[in-house]
Amino acid sequence: MIAIVIVTPKPVVNDPQGVTVKQGLASLGFSEVSDVRIGKYIELKLEESSEHAARERVEAMCRQLLANHVIEDFRFDIVRDGRR
């Protein structure tokens, strides 16, 4: 199965990339965009058959390495191969 991990800067952390992209969108006429946050997309291929076990493992990976809890939040989905 595949884990899709999304890491984003915490709301309290200044995200200058997001601010700059928001300004870019506004200059193109997309003035409805009130906020932009830029994060990371991480895809993990897992040799694991139980979704429950996979969730626990990916949660641990996020806490220990994939996200820095001081500045980032994370969320993830587990999907079966080929179902994306």
Partner 1 sequence: MKFGVVVFPGTWSDRDCGWVIDQVLGAELTYLWHKDTDLKGCDCVILPGGFAYGDYLRTGAIARFAPVMEKIGEFADRGGLVWGICNGFQVLCEAGLLPGALIRNASLEFRCEWTNLVVERTDLPFTSKCGEREVLHAPIAHGEGSYFADPATLSRLEQRGQVVFRYCDATGRVVPGANPNGSLHNIAGIVNARGNVLGMMPHPERCSETELGGTDGLKLFRSVAENALQVLVS
Rounded least distance, CB 38 to partner 1, Å: 10
Beta-strand (E) ranges in 32-79? 40-45, 72-79
Round to the nearest angstrom and report the end-to-end CA distance of the chain. 10
Nearer to partner 1, 40 or 50 (CB): 40
Nearer to partner 1, 16 or 29 (CB): 16
Question: What is the spatial distance between Cα 11 and Cα 73, in angstroms, rounded to a whole number?
Answer: 9
Give residue 34's identity as a one-letter amino acid code: S
Residues at the interface with partner 1 (CB under 8 A): 9, 12-14, 16-17, 20, 65-66, 68, 70-71
Nearer to partner 1, 3 or 66 (CB): 66
